[in-house]
A and B are shown apart, each in its own frame.
Chain A
């Protein structure tokens, strides 16, 4: 129940503070999600969606920093998110 999934905001459909919605792409699949908790999100941003609503934006700088740390620590490298295709 508590799992949430990252997706990329593709299009806003309603920017009302309470009814905010938009299309979010998850690994190629589009869903219309509620965006009232992330009014500052811009098209192209990654958001974490849970039970149909985006709980927060994903901080790409922080994500890449952790991936870099993991790469530096391990012999095998995890892939960079930067160049992965959707």
Chain B
């Protein structure tokens, strides 16, 4: 496809990787934030090709993986109310809540449907006035404009049987939490290109300055990823820390002002608990007070759900913060596999555990080892 395939060129990628190998004077540690990029790096073998030059550690950038089990429980509770249809993106359906997933609840009779876009959920509500259609809104800043637009369109078109269960998360607070952690090893970030398409790269300047960490905005194709790593290495080798935009074909300094305005009109930042990572100050979005009529929890449920304690065998928190790689989890590939996942990073198409399971050759897998404080 035009403007996609050209950035997958093996010759260009290999010469970029070779130039990175030649440039490094020490082995740097770089974190990619987005799960889509984790998959790209593993799929094209970039992590292996650079193994001696750069350690790539994988960040928390899969919104499906970090959605709390209690929110999934809430979605299932809503879908179990007569005439309430819960809609969401396909990769959210299989993620386990505290007891079951939306897919298993649907098999047991709950009304659940996959949609491609929140705007499709609005269309469903219009077509089915006999149902209350709830969109279970997950995703980073990338999907938030579509969710905001869904609410704005529903209001404009007078569609009253549409509401949201909001679980949107914001990337920057997670990046900051990783940098603040005493065990932090991140020396540079590859920032998630599509998040920056919306929020712009200017928004990273403050983080970059305060933590003196290079942040390079990049895309998802192999030449994009290699270009981004090369830019990180160049900054690290010359002791610089800047926000650098290597995805300027879609990312502008200020992002997409119109998309940002839609989000701003409907949502405000709020604290949110991330699965595996815990409380994240300002790590989520919620509906503004003036839009609370569209809040499905207010419409249909009462009271908070109990906090869910995650499986003690799943080390997703350590995986999502780059402290361990998936093969270091004792359950990886044995007890925990895509067909029976213990944690969300093995369920989601963009989860780091699923990426390692799919792309990493077994001979490269580390031996599982016990680590203190495994919780």
Contact = CB atoms under 8 A, between A and B. Distances in A.
Interface of A: 1-8, 18-19, 26-27, 34, 36-39, 46, 48, 50-53, 55-60, 62-63, 66-67, 70-71, 73-81, 84, 86
Contact of B220 (A3, A60, A70): A3
B65 to A, nearest CB: 10
Given A2-B192, A55-B198, A58-B249, 10 more contacts: A1-B91, A5-B4, A7-B1, A18-B153, A37-B259, A53-B146, A56-B197, A59-B249, A62-B249, A84-B5
B3 A39 contact: no
Interface string B110-149: 0000001111100000000000000000111011011001
B119 A53 contact: yes
Contacts of B35: 1-2
A55 B195 CA distance: 10
A66 B245 CA distance: 12
Q: Which residue among A36, A38, A63, A81 has the maximum number of chain B CB atoms within 10 Å of its CB? A: A36
B1 to A, nearest CB: 4
20 contacts: A1-B142, A7-B1, A8-B2, A50-B143, A51-B142, A51-B143, A53-B146, A55-B142, A56-B197, A56-B259, A59-B250, A66-B7, A66-B227, A67-B6, A70-B223, A74-B16, A77-B11, A78-B11, A79-B6, A84-B6
B3 A6 contact: yes
A78 B4 CA distance: 11
A13 to B, nearest CB: 14
A78 B256 contact: no
B327 interface: no
B63 interface: yes
Chain B binding site: helix, strand, loop or mixed by DSSP? helix
Complex A-B, nearest 10 residue pairs according to Cβ-Cβ distance, in ascending order: A76-B11, A52-B117, A78-B9, A74-B15, A27-B1, A63-B249, A6-B3, A70-B12, A37-B259, A62-B249
A55 B256 contact: yes
A85 to B, nearest CB: 9
B249 A51 contact: no
Contacts of A38: 256, 258
